[in-house]
Structure 1
Amino acid sequence: MASTIESLLEAISDTEDPIEELQCLKTALSSIPASSLGNIVSGRRFEPIFSLLYSDEREQVELCVEILQHILMACSPLQVAQDYRVELQAGLKHPDSNVKILALTQVGRMADNPDATVEILNSRNVMGSVIHSIEEENMTVAKQAIQALSRLSRSPTCLEKLFRGELLTVLKNVMTVSDIVRYRVYELVVDVATMGLDHLSFCQVILNDLIAELTGDDVLIRATAIEMVTILSRCGHGQKFLNEEGVIFKFSNMIKGADEDPFSYLYLPGLVKFFGNLATARSPQKVCEDYPVFLNKVFAMASDADPAMVGVALDTLGLLGSTVEGKQVLQKTGENFKSVLLRMSQLSTSGATELRVRCLEAFSQLLTLQPEQQTEDLLALTETWFCLLSKRPVDTIRDISTQPFPELHCGALRVFSAIAAQSWGQRMMVNTPGFMEFVLDRSTSRSKEAKDAKFELVGALLTSSTATDVLGSHNIIALKSYQNEGPYHVSAVAAVDMEGA
């Protein structure tokens, strides 16, 4: 096979129209196992393929890219860094996006090899070109550049060069190109900062720029900055940094003043998402006690006329209620949360489809209890919440599941899965006429997602320690048979020869 590759390379070098030979080379490389390809390409130079990248013939360029993907992936990252540095530099400036992506992918691979990382970081031209790739109009190229730099930044050497060395100047210059490009750089910096406290320390210069954007005059830029900061709040050291910089207090004040700002609808959802993430990452009780304006605003948004506001409120309530502590915080608000649940009940049956789906998702999170969480108080709490849905809540959710919207069907099944693991939920199910038949009827779930959701419901019932006593042995046998057959089982139907009959 090595001789075949060699002869094809020679043929490609000797022809003016190499398309056919490139096709043959691509086929030959594709047929070689990955474990053997490395030995074949090792020591060979592929200048003819690289040179053919510079052509107006699109098919030729595409074939070269596919061939080089095989070749370069068969090489070690260090070998690529040492032997193809010049080609990488040229590829990063190539007019074709696929060639740029090929080069950026190889740069990203070097993060997996310390020696290759050092090798590529010492090439200022290559690294400068990678940073400038963040400016590209093609979003895929820009994303690939961000990913490559993020992967390299796991190395302390890269952190030093990128955020304190000469490459920082290049990065800062790139940020001046446009608002869009500046936020791409922020995306990179936030991603690196979440890796650890040391990483955040290196990124602090640019993070300070991001924080300054939070109080800028452009409301849209402010909203984007809030989204970026929210990502940082998902890790402990990020929360500490934001707290020390006064960002959390500033956000609390922004929520307080939102009613006086006619443009607050642009950034208010981001602020609520921020505190929702902060509460689940830190402590729902502490966050809601320290910043009471947050939960009050969530309740107000749940009753808002704007569907966008309602949707964010529903998502946030589900996030809060996914933890035991969050459930207890919501329960302590008494009538306030009861009013919200009644509003959710109304929306789940008569709201717009998207809001109904988000209601069902929030309900499933609010009602879920793990086996070790099923204390008497918490079981009473979830049962009370479920009963607020309607006089016959099991029928209400089942009615939603029968409507011709797959997302509603799956959402309803997830609500049933949430209560299926709890004894009171099982009692309601078995006492609702026709419900167990509904669970066992495969014809009610037609899509793959629906079949998976129904199978999850069956599993939730069977894994509960109280299921046998509550449901009865005959239902348990039928559920186990369903589970053993798998989610996609189809019953065989005997064909009848009517003419012969």
Structure 2
Amino acid sequence: MAAAIERLLCEISESEEPIDELRSLRTAVAATPLSGLRESLSAEKLGVVFSLLNTNDRQQVEVCVEILGRVLQVLDPAHLAQNCKSELQSGLNHPDDSVKVLALTQIGRVVGHSEGITEVLNSPEILRDVIRCVGAERIGIAKEAISALSKLSNTKAGLDALFRSDLLKELKDVMSISDVIRYRVYELVVEVSSVSPVSLGYCANSSFISQLLEELTGDDVLVRATAIEMVTSLAQSQHGRQYLAQQGIMDKISNMIVAADSDPFSSFYLPGLVKFFGNLAVTDSPQQVCERYPAFLNMVFAMAMNPDPTQTPVALDTIGLLGGTVEGKQVLHKTGEQFRSVLKRMSLLATDEATELRVRSLEAIAQLLTLPVEQQTDDLLLLTESWFSSLSSKPMEMIRDMSTQPFPELHCSALRIFTAIACQKWGQRLMMSTPGFAEWVVDRSVGKGKEAKDCKFELVGALLSTSSIREIFGAPNYLKLKTYLEEGPYYVRAVSSVTTEGAD
């Protein structure tokens, strides 16, 4: 196959209309294992294919991109940087978007390589063109450019090039094109800042972070909402959270929540504020965050009780996030009757609303009730049992009814609630005392589709994960569960057929 590729490359270089030869080369390249391509091809041999990108023939460009996309991925990044620098730069300025994406993808490989990055840093004009691609109309091009610049910033030399040279002005010029492009640059800055305290320092010293933080209180509510998303991403790293705390951003966002009641446009950005503290609580400490910023939890509860369906989803997700941890469960429990009311509201949402809200409510309830064996204490078991009992006068029947719904997402979300209580003794006793439940668990005719079968299998696994199941369910049911687990989620029992002579 290597000889065939060599021959085709020669034919292409000699042909005035090489489209047929290019198609043959595409077929040959696709049929050759990557190891074979690595041994038989070099950047120099690909010059003829690169040169054929300089055409208005869309079909020819498409075939060349397919060939190069497969071949270039096997070449050593340093070798590529040394021998295809001009071709890659030409690709960045090509009128066809697919060529730009190809060039950016390969530059991303190069800057992620210790030797390749040196070659690129010695060619600032390439980096200038990559930065300009962040301002491209097509989001796919911008994403590849952001990815390449982010990889570049993983080294001190890359950080110096981007934030302490003329390229910084280029980045700021691109940023001024439009609101959309400005937020692409923020996306890059947040990505770079998340790597380490050092990289955050570079971004802060270049004024990008302070500019982003100013947008939190800007006049445009849509811009404000996007800024909150970016700041939430910045808070994913510990050093990012420390920086934001030092800048007083947590207090600022808490004050924005307090002031939201008097802002008629707060519904645009309020979900983002709540998400910010929800993520903060999970990464740091639910108790500390909720005690220091009480406006956050009060707003979550208010949004959960609000009849406006646009506010409810983020409230449900946040309650699920908080309640998924032991500390979060305790925080919610301390609010007493306030959370009980929210829980009843969640139960109503799970039974009477649109499918999406029902699913989100069920998923949040499942997180609230989840209590792994190693975290179980008498107090926490009493807590989850009381929460389950608060859902309805007959919670087992309620969840069971939902698990028979024809909608797969509802069916699976209901099963996840059963899975959550399946490793808790009180849950197993409830299941066993519910008529027909033990038989239903091992009935493979209930629930169609892969996801439903996987959910049922997880439920069986959760039941068998505890030492109490044999005593509570009894030996016959225990053996049926074990058999179900051993057979796997997709087991189908063979049905024998009897043929009668003479029958049609």
TM range (shorter): over 0.9
Query: Are 1:238 and 2:269 counterparts?
Result: no
Task: Output one character per residue of 1:457-491: Cα deviation in whole Å (capped at 9) or x when no partner.
Answer: 11111112221221122112111111111111122
Equivalent residue number for residue 219 of structure 2? 217
Contact conserved, 2:403 with 2:410, CA < 8 A, in 1?
Answer: yes
- Equivalent residue of 1:94, what SS? coil
AA of the residue aligned to 2:81 = A
Equivalent residue number for residue 420 of structure 1? 422
Task: Output one character per residue of 1:19-45: Cα deviation in whole Å (capped at 9) or x when no partner.
Answer: 221121122222222223212113642
Equivalent residue number for residue 121 of structure 2? 121
Contact conserved, 2:81 with 2:120, CA < 8 A, in 1?
Answer: yes
Q: 1:465 to 1:121 in 2, by over 3 A?
A: farther
- Equivalent residue of 1:444, what SS? coil
AA of the residue aligned to 2:491 = H
**How far apart, CA to CA, are the structure 2 residues paired with 1:495 and 1:101?**
58
Give 1:323-402 correspondences, 5 Å limit.
323-402=325-404
Equivalent residue number for residue 284 of structure 2? 282
Equivalent residue number for residue 488 of structure 1? 490
Task: Output one character per residue of 1:225-252: Cα deviation in whole Å (capped at 9) or x when no partner.
Answer: 0010011112211111111111111111
AA of the residue aligned to 2:30 = S
- Equivalent residue of 2:445, what SS? helix
Contact conserved, 1:41 with 1:74, CA < 8 A, in 2?
Answer: no
Equivalent residue number for residue 316 of structure 2? 314
**How far apart, CA to CA, are the structure 2 residues paired with 1:485 and 1:136?**
53
Tell which deviates more after alignment, 334-343 or 422-431.
422-431
**How far apart, CA to CA, are the structure 2 residues paired with 1:252 and 1:3?**
68
Q: 1:43 to 1:126 in 2, by over 3 A?
A: closer
Task: Output one character per residue of 1:208-228: Cα deviation in whole Å (capped at 9) or x when no partner.
Answer: 110011111111101100010
Query: Are 1:148 and 2:148 counterparts?
Result: yes
**How far apart, CA to CA, are the structure 1 residues paired with 2:502 and 2:142?**
68
Query: Are 1:304 and 2:306 counterparts?
Result: yes
Query: Are 1:110 and 2:130 counterparts?
Result: no
Task: Output one character per residue of 1:321-358: Cα deviation in whole Å (capped at 9) or x when no partner.
Answer: 01100000000000000000011111111111111000
Equivalent residue number for residue 292 of structure 1? 294
Unaligned runs of 5+ in 2: none
**How far apart, CA to CA, are the structure 2 residues paired with 1:209 and 1:456?**
48
Task: Output one character per residue of 1:287-319: Cα deviation in whole Å (capped at 9) or x when no partner.
Answer: 111010110111111111211211111000000
Unaligned runs of 5+ in 1: none
**How far apart, CA to CA, are the structure 2 residues paired with 1:226 and 1:44?**
48
Equivalent residue number for residue 176 of structure 1? 176
Task: Output one character per residue of 1:417-464: Cα deviation in whole Å (capped at 9) or x when no partner.
Answer: 111111111111111111122211122221211111111111111112
**How far apart, CA to CA, are the structure 2 residues paired with 1:78 and 1:320?**
47
Equivalent residue number for residue 405 of structure 2? 403
Query: Are 1:162 and 2:165 counterparts?
Result: no
**How far apart, CA to CA, are the structure 2 residues paired with 1:6 and 1:484?**
54
**How far apart, CA to CA, are the structure 1 residues paired with 2:233 and 2:43?**
45
Tell which deviates more after alignment, 433-442 or 487-496.
487-496
Percent identity of equivalent pairs: 57
Task: Output one character per residue of 1:9-64: Cα deviation in whole Å (capped at 9) or x when no partner.
Answer: 11112223222211211222222222232121136422221121122332221111
**How far apart, CA to CA, are the structure 1 residues paired with 2:371 and 2:502?**
58
Tell which deviates more after alignment, 185-194 or 1-10.
1-10
- Equivalent residue of 1:384, what SS? helix
AA of the residue aligned to 2:126 = V
Equivalent residue number for residue 42 of structure 2? 42
Contact conserved, 2:111 with 2:120, CA < 8 A, in 1?
Answer: no
Equivalent residue number for residue 185 of structure 1? 185
AA of the residue aligned to 2:236 = R
**How far apart, CA to CA, are the structure 2 residues paired with 1:320 and 1:43?**
53
AA of the residue aligned to 1:346 = L
Q: CA RMSD in A?
A: 1.3
Contact conserved, 1:110 with 1:152, CA < 8 A, in 2?
Answer: no
- Equivalent residue of 2:217, what SS? coil
Equivalent residue number for residue 466 of structure 2? 464
Equivalent residue number for residue 268 of structure 2? 266
Contact conserved, 2:43 with 2:79, CA < 8 A, in 1?
Answer: no
**TM-score where L is the length of structure 1:** 0.98
Tell which deviates more after alignment, 326-335 or 134-143.
134-143
Equivalent residue number for residue 227 of structure 1? 229
- Equivalent residue of 2:489, what SS? coil
Contact conserved, 2:196 with 2:239, CA < 8 A, in 1?
Answer: yes
**How far apart, CA to CA, are the structure 2 residues paired with 1:120 and 1:39?**
25
Query: Are 1:96 and 2:90 counterparts?
Result: no
Equivalent residue number for residue 72 of structure 1? 72
- Equivalent residue of 2:396, what SS? helix
Q: 1:243 to 1:101 in 2, by over 3 A?
A: same
AA of the residue aligned to 1:309 = Q
**How far apart, CA to CA, are the structure 1 residues paired with 2:453 and 2:59?**
43
Contact conserved, 2:343 with 2:391, CA < 8 A, in 1?
Answer: yes
- Give 1:499 shift: 6.7
**TM-score where L is the length of structure 2:** 0.97
- Give 1:164 shift: 2.1
**How far apart, CA to CA, are the structure 2 residues paired with 1:31 and 1:261?**
62
AA of the residue aligned to 2:309 = P
Contact conserved, 2:194 with 2:200, CA < 8 A, in 1?
Answer: yes
Q: 1:243 to 1:492 in 2, by over 3 A?
A: same
Task: Output one character per residue of 1:131-165: Cα deviation in whole Å (capped at 9) or x when no partner.
Answer: 11111111111111111111221111111111222
- Equivalent residue of 2:307, what SS? coil
Tell which deviates more after alignment, 430-439 or 323-332.
430-439
